[in-house]
Amino acid sequence: MFACVQLPVIIAEKSEPWLHQATQHRQQEEGAALLLINRTVSINIDKSLDSQSVCFGSLMSSSSFSHCSSVSMRLVLVGMTGAGKSSSGNTILGRKAFRVIKSPSSVTKECSKETESVAGRDITVVDTPGMFDTDISEEELLTQKISKCINMTAPGPHAIVLVIKLDAFTEEERLSVEKIRAIFGEEADKHTIILFTHGDELTSSIEEFMEANEALQEILSRCGGRHHVFNNKDMEDRNQVVEFLQKVDAVVAANGGEHYTSDSYQDVELMLKTRPEELKKLYEKKLQDIQRELEARFAEEMKKLQERIETLTASEQEKEEKIKELEQLNKCKMTEYKRYYETKLREARQEEERTCTHPNIIKKIFQKILKIKS
């Protein structure tokens, strides 16, 4: 916007009165003209900005962004050790949520879950360890890993993100993918998207890379050809994240807007809900008992205070202040008890996710895994 220009006053010291009046009149006219120009320019600029704002708003509301809503999303990252699961989780969330260091063995020892607001909605990412890099005979360890993975993604992930490094796709990786598939079931293919990492190292097109390996083509075919490429070295590139989430939205839309579920997930969700509901009843009873106890104690303390006040020569205002202090203290105690038990209730599900195992469910999964030729 242009600033108003103050015109110089050029008047001779000994000029005639009529000349002085004429000069003032001319300055007023020029000032009014400049003010009109400023207003016109301001209006045009505002209109231009409004027009740009409308265009931007139209773009954001177009079909390409139709799935970017306030609905939350759950993603589970699976794949071999070193594929870049943790780095991809960090890229999606836009922060260092998961530990990442260069190591030949799995840095992620157990499943972990983080949530962040991304592109206007809550995105929950579950990072998983390389579940099948260890010997399948380590049944107890694997049971804990699989149980926790299912617990943390219950009632089911919106997308299973199969993370594969842009490198030679080995037989070991193919078997790992088959075993991961055994955990979630064949129906999970409809909810799976392949995420290729180390996009900065890609020397050819992604299509050429995929066509070079028949085993990889078969896996892609089962997943409906859905794929995306990440450069995890450039977390600031939010375009790659928004485009990835658009593809995940398309997966969800293709499945009727629903997250993935199975008999295993439904059983687990029921188990995870049962314990918090039991705790809720327990905590509600405890709060009622505490409230009755506090009310009885308050009545007793109030009685003592009234007796003590009568012996004092304090003013009515001072007496009222002492009573208010006691009331406030009692209210503060009850508020803290409520906060404490509400927090315990919120943490109940998290505790179940960490510790609850499902031997019957895992047994079925093991039977499927053992059928896969290694």
pLDDT in tens, 167-222: 878 888 888 888 888 878 888 899 999 999 999 888 889 999 898 888 899 999 99
Token pair recorded at residue 46: 């505002």
- Say if residue 155 is in the same domain as residue 97: yes
Beta strands 73-78; 159-165: pairing state = parallel
Identify whether 8 is preceded by a cis peptide bond (ω within 30 of 0).
no
Give tens-digit pLDDT for 212-261.
888 899 999 999 999 999 999 999 999 999 999 999 999 999 999 888 88
- Say if residue 210 is in the same domain as residue 270: no
Reported as type and span, the H/E element at residue 126 is strand 121-127
Q: How many residues does the chain have?
A: 374
pLDDT of residue 178: 86
- Say if residue 96 is in the same domain as residue 226: yes
- Residue 373 CB partners (closer than 8 Å, separation 6+): 175
| Residue appearing with tokens 């000349």 | 19
- Say if residue 227 is in the same domain as residue 134: yes
pLDDT of residue 296: 86
d(C-alpha 208, C-alpha 218), whole Å: 15
What is the edge-to-edge ordering of all strands in the sheet holding 73-78?
112-118, 121-127, 73-78, 159-165, 192-197, 227-229
- Say if residue 253 is in the same domain as residue 141: yes
CA dihedral sign of residues 38, 39, 41, 46:
positive
Cβ atoms of 187 and 266 closer than 8 Å: no
- Say if residue 284 is in the same domain as residue 252: no
In total, how many domains does the chain have?
Answer: 3
One-letter amino acid identity for 259? H
- Say if residue 157 is in the same domain as residue 227: yes
DSSP 8-class letter at 134 = S
- Say if residue 300 is in the same domain as residue 347: yes
- Say if residue 253 is in the same domain as residue 220: yes
pLDDT of residue 175: 85
- Residue 338 CB partners (closer than 8 Å, separation 6+): 287
Domain carrying residue 360: 265-371
- Residue 265 CB partners (closer than 8 Å, separation 6+): 150, 153, 154, 155, 156
252 alpha-carbon distance from chain centroid: 17
d(C-alpha 116, C-alpha 75), whole Å: 12
Among 261, 288, 307, the domain-final residue is 261
With CA atoms as reference, report the closest residue to 114 among 99, 101, 104: 99
pLDDT of residue 355: 62
Task: Report residues of the chain scoring pLDDT below 70.
Answer: 1-70, 101-109, 131-144, 272, 275-276, 311-314, 349, 351-374
- Say if residue 192 is in the same domain as residue 88: yes
- Cα 352-80-157 angle, rounded to 5 deg: 40
Token pair recorded at residue 24: 């003032």
d(C-alpha 247, C-alpha 178), whole Å: 23
Token pair recorded at residue 40: 């016109």
- Say if residue 221 is in the same domain as residue 282: no
